[in-house]
Structure 1
Amino acid sequence: MRGIISSLILLAAVATGGSAFAQAKAVSQHNDWGVYSYQSDNGKVCYVMSVPKEKTPASLNHGDIFFFVSQKPGQNVAYEPQFIADYTLQEGSKVTVTVGSRSFAMFTQGKSAWLENAAEEPQLVAAMKAGTDMKVAAKSGRGNDTGYTFSLSGITAALNAIQNCQ
């Protein structure tokens, strides 16, 4: 399990282009969600991360896909959801995150996506805690529609683990 976690950290570092993620340490694992932390120039960063259980269409090479929720106390960021693909997302496209009957729009930049309306971050996190799975729909830079299903098993415990990130 430790090897898988280390591999996920390394893959996340490559996906985000950030060397800080390469310095991240695995803190704990809660079913399908891992807890990680690292020290940045602006203070400690804690995050939970998972990979999808399903990727569609199966005929495409999706690469490594991640969904994060970060705590960055030194930057006044609390529970910021982020989707990270292994490919460039179509410029100007939206990523849609659906949990139960709730959908949330994310804006894209490069390989990442964040909620368009930051005020909805607590609502998405609450939906994730109450849900069983989360669907993410995106469009690649080549125009391919892609879809991902993430298990939400362990998300509440993982988020509780980063609640007091300092």
Structure 2
Amino acid sequence: MAGALLAMVASGATAQEESTNQVAAKTAWSVFEDADPKECWAVSSPTETVNTKDGRVVAVRRGDILLMTFFRPGAGVQGQITFTGGYPFAGGSTVNINIGGSEFEMFTEGEWAWPASAADDAKIIAAMKRGADAVLTARSSRGTITKDTFSLLGYTAALEEAENRCK
């Protein structure tokens, strides 16, 4: 199961990096759609990023930092949360999501993180619809702690747009 999810996430990342098929922008969130395979996603970049090591703020080089919700009807994916921090996560580490005081956990593989189940996806999506910000805290393979804050302004509209495009 994790391999299939990783394959979906990895192909979605490639689509995000290469896709010019942006179909909508909802404040902090954008919606993309690709045809082969049919997939739609809402995506945002952080509004704030803080990197620390040994308790001190440090400057680090990171790739794209993205929080996404995917829909891929052909694979039965209806709202999968994915996150890439722009670096390889520490082996065996998890990513913590805090939305308005509610805490969630995602497991990691390489540069990607996602919830353990569709039920966890649904809980996070519900919190994101209600929240103002999502704060994702993770640890890199080099021991840097990253804290990325994403605005949830426009999330519900972007999510609904992506879902409607991939029914």
TM-score, structure 2 normalization: 0.83
Distance in structure 2 (CA, Å) of the matches to 1:142 and 1:15: 26
Contact 1:52 1:148 in 2 (8 A): yes
Equivalent of residue 35 in structure 1, options 31, 35, 50: 31
Which aligned runs of 4 or more in structure 1 are off by greater than 6 angstroms? none
1:112 is matched by which residue type in structure 2? W
Contact 1:15 1:84 in 2 (8 A): no
Deviations 1:80-131 (A, max 9, x none): 0000122111111000111012111111011000102331111110110100
Q: Name the counterpart of 1:104.
A: 104
Question: What is the count of residue pairs matched by the alignment?
Answer: 151
Alignment of 1:8-157 (within 5 A): 16=13, 18=14, 22-40=18-36, 43-57=37-51, 59-157=59-157
Q: CA deviation at 1:44?
A: 0.8
* Range with greater deviation from structure 2 (115-124 or 143-152): 115-124
Distance in structure 2 (CA, Å) of the matches to 1:44 and 1:64: 23
**Consecutive unaligned residues in structure 2, runs of 5 or more:** 1-9, 52-57
**Consecutive unaligned residues in structure 1, runs of 5 or more:** 1-12
For CA contacts below 8 A with separation 6 or more, give which structure has more relative contact order: 2
Kindly report the root-mean-square deviation, in angstroms, between the aligned alpha carbons of the 2 structures: 2.1
Q: Name the counterpart of 1:8.
A: none
